[in-house]
Structure 1
Amino acid sequence: MKLESLRIPPRLRGFGADEQAQLFDLTLAGDRVAAIVPSASQAHPRGTLLSALVEAHAHIDKNYTVQDVGAAEGDLFAAIARMDRHRAGWTGDGLRARMERALHDAWRSGTRALRTHIDWVQADAPAALAVFEALRSEWRDRIELQFVSLTPLDLFADLEAGERIARQVKRAGGTLGAFVYRNEGLLHKLGRVFDLAETHGLGLDFHVDEGLDADASGLRSIAQLMRAREFRRGVVCGHCCSLAMQDDAVAQETLALCAGAGIHIVALPTTNLYLQGAWDRTPVPRGITRIREAAARGLRASLATDNVQDAFYPYGSYDLLETFGLGVQMAHLAPAEDWLDAITVAPARALGLGWDGRIAPGCPADLVLLAATGEHELIGPRGRERTVIRAGRILEQTP
């Protein structure tokens, strides 16, 4: 298969090219990209080529439940309470139906890998884990699936419970996680999570500082612990909304710590726009972390979906290009083309995937060809029209 006269965003290029070349021809051979050369004509682009998309933060166990639980409208802890009540009635069949629906949506949109957080609120493994493990096997050739145990940080104060959780996460090949927000004894409890990760050889992925309280210091504490312990197994921190509320000097100090520790930040624009901010007036400030300031320190954040049609966010889908478009607008990520690594390369590296998503001869022919012929079409409906290519074959064309 040959693809001609395509834009490839510079941050997605894994090949050397004449600086004047902006359009490229690709030859696909089997399931690989065989060759990339500058197009003979540089005048008429036919589209924009991305590597297949990577979802760094989702919740496929609780999506599509908003009709049962209702929308929380700006109250994070009300949403948590509603899902706690609803979770008591979850069945294997119901979980599988919701989780498969999410995977089909993501697959159709061009996603090649997805990390989901699974609610894990007691020592015993949740029913969703067994369903996830079955789906991970069934979907192996379509979407690479990872999971994180989403556990209230306070539960790790129970040493036996924490040990049981870590052992089960290790057995199932997952990542250890916790919900961190202004907890009492924060450093002690976080230290316990790091102890378990070091003992069992686990990576870490936190929900951290998901609110607009300037005194929330979870992100800073995690970075300090990483550096003090020289923790090298990889740490992802999602949300980090409070960072935007802190004084510039404080925020910059925290980002410097994060850069030194090697933390990967994930911003979740849909859910945090919905949950953070007032509901009785125009909602300013808004719930987004300091993406641009992080990038200035070499921390290329990911943009991810988070919740879909549940109490936390009652709308949405698993189309990462929709998430990308919202993130571009709310965080002023311009030019937009320079930030497409937030749904491709950055999350691929954070999740430790075998391919980092940079397009080059020899890379997998897992690609998304957008109709957008320029940067200003990227987030419009026509520009988002796409052809999904997996293992060198066209999957489908989709609006």
Structure 2
Amino acid sequence: MHTPTVPTVIDNLRLPRWLLPSDWPQPDGVPALARLAIEAGRVHAVQPAKQAPARSAATWDAAGMLALPGFVDAHTHLDKAFTLPRMKQVQPGLLGAIDAMLNDRVNWTPADVRERAARGLQWAWECGTTHLRTHVDWWEPDATPMAWPVMAELAQEWAGRVRLEQVSLIKLPLFEDADQALRLAKQVKATGPHALLGGFVHSTNWSEAALRNLLVAAQACELDIDLHVDEELNAASVGLQTTARLLREIGYEGRVVCGHVCALAAQPEAQALATLDAVARAPITIVSLPATNLLLQDAVTGRTPRLRGITLVKEARERGIPLLFASDNVQDPFCRLGSFDPIEAMGTAALVAQLDEPFDTWSEALCRSDWLQRAPTARPTLVGAPADLVLFTDADRHGWPSRSARRLVLRDGRVTQGDAAPFLPR
């Protein structure tokens, strides 16, 4: 018998609390199961489920299966991915990883970068990601990186499957000169609407003037910004708090993403919380990268790390700051692990940050691609959105994201990964 892969109704789905209307029935405090109607590849309606749905080829009974919208992987490095196997030795910590990466650049060709990046995109597609943002190392002020046009080509090739954005990861000293900062911003702007201006903001290269030039140049070119900020456990780091202040001073009108911000976890409580209060008043989204930060922060050869390296995710969420978890580096000197599956980042975060209700509450941090946009949605809804869904066939809400490896992925309502046979009438 032919296995249909385009349902018109999926009944008895378990959706997370954050994705449901505020008046959704919650018997015993648990959201009631949902019934999704799908038309022309989009979610037409979401209603409480029928208790005994008609079982047919077009109506699936999910029997309480967990489901999420397609994922956003908001911070990755496709240009570096899968380089670790060709490296001999990597010194511990962030700066050791940077040195190893610089040494590997002699192996880079457009074909090499394309093969590795395309492999990463394929893995992301298979796990259920619909939106992926990659940073691209940019070291020279007057030369476009080899990987930059490769990512632009891949963004076109993957359009309609994975939305690929690229960020210029430029070391902060290259913005010391205001004219040069503007030239860099114009180069990024010329790439297209999927490109963003970025920078590496760290205590080893700190310059408030350079950071201001970066922000002003982005404003002049109407570019959104994505920064590596305070990726260290130095309590004296002020990148995040200065970014929030400068955005207000220049009246910046776009969206700024600040990744890592590990230093918050090392600062005195009052200082860290005051910084987050300022961030909450700015157009800033925070992206936490739990796997890479665990591996790089407090890293010393032959010594068990004492500090976790993850930023203050609970305190950020309490203040209404948009917060996402992401994969970051995959199988390169910065992180030897990974598979471009945001669920892995969630599993790590749930343990290291001691997150309550990972499915009902924190899964939002894997799915809110609007938090990367200039005007985030007030309350998310599936209605009217593409039927891009990930169904977890083995997981339950108490243990999720454990047992999440086996999943069914739908794109525009059509199964692209996994086996639909269990949903069909026998």
The TM-score with structure 2 as length reference comes to 0.88
Q: Does 1:170 align with 2:189?
A: yes
Task: Give deviations 1:232-255, integer Å, cap 9, x for gaps.
Answer: 201100000010000100001000
Instruction: State yes or no: 1:389 paired with 2:410.
Output: yes
> Which shows bigger deviation, 125-134 or 19-28?
19-28
Q: Any residues of structure 2 matched to 1:62-101 within 5 Å, and which?
A: 62-70=80-88, 72=90, 74-101=92-119
Match of 2:46 in 1: 36
Decide which of 116, 119, 140 is 2:134's aligned counterpart: 116
Partner residue in 1 for 2:176: 157
Task: Describe how 1:1-399 pairs up with structure 2 within 5 A.
Answer: 1=7, 2-13=9-20, 16-20=23-27, 21-41=31-51, 45-70=63-88, 72=90, 74-123=92-141, 124-173=143-192, 174-183=195-204, 186-279=207-300, 280-337=302-359, 338-345=361-368, 347-351=369-373, 358-372=380-394, 374-381=396-403, 383-397=404-418
Distance in 1 (alpha carbons) for counterparts of 2:34 and 2:372: 28
Per-residue CA deviations over 1:311-345 (Å, capped at 9, x if unaligned) read 11111111111111111111111111210000002
Superimposed CA distance per residue, residues 130-188 of structure 1 (whole angstroms, 9 cap, x where no aligned partner): 11111111100100110110010011114454233211100012111100011566211
Q: Deviations over 1:57-85 (max 9, x none)?
A: 00001100001224635321111112122
Distance 1:372 1:350, change over 3 A: farther
Name the aligned partner's letter for residue 393 of structure 1.
R
Taking the aligned partners of 1:209 and 1:225, their CA distance within structure 2 comes to 16
CA contact (8 A) 1:307 1:313 kept: yes
Query: Once the two structures are superposed, what CA deviation does each residue of 1:283-320 show, in whole Å capped at 9, x if it has no partner?
Result: 11111000001111111310001000111111111111
Q: For 1:111, give the aligned amino acid.
A: T
Note the alpha carbon deviations across 1:349-383, whole angstroms, 9 max, x for none: 224699899343222111111125532231212x4
Change in Cα spacing, 1:45 to 1:283, as seen in structure 2 (3 Å) is farther
- 8 Å Cα contact 2:322-2:371 kept in structure 1: no
- SS of the residue corresponding to residue 336 of structure 1 reads coil
Report the Cα distance in structure 2 between the residues aligned to 1:256 and 1:175, rounded to whole angstroms.
25
CA distance in 1 between counterparts of 2:21 and 2:93 reads 43
Query: CA contact under 8 A between 1:74 and 1:277: conserved in structure 2?
Result: no
How far is 1:46 from its partner? 2.7
Give the percent of matched residue pairs that are identical in Structure 1 and Structure 2: 37
Q: Which amino acid aligns with 2:32?
A: Q
Distance in 2 (CA, whole Å) between partners of 1:292 and 1:238 is: 16
**Runs (4+) of structure 1 moved beyond 4 Å?**
351-357
Letter of the 2:267 counterpart: Q
Greater shift in the superposed pair: 244-253 or 186-195? 186-195
Q: Which has the larger radius of gyration?
A: 2
Give ranges in structure 2 of 5+ residues lacking alignment.
Answer: 1-6, 53-61, 420-426
Give the CA deviation at 1:19.
3.8
| Structure 1 contact 154–183 (Cα < 8 Å) conserved | no
> Do the aligned partners of 1:46 and 1:371 also contact (CA within 8 Å) in 2?
no
CA contact (8 A) 2:168 2:197 kept: yes
Determine if contact 1:51/1:357 at 8 Å carries over to the other structure: no
TM-score (norm: length of structure 1): 0.94
Change (3 A) 1:320 1:73: farther
For residue 49 of structure 1, give the secondary structure of its aligned residue in structure 2: strand
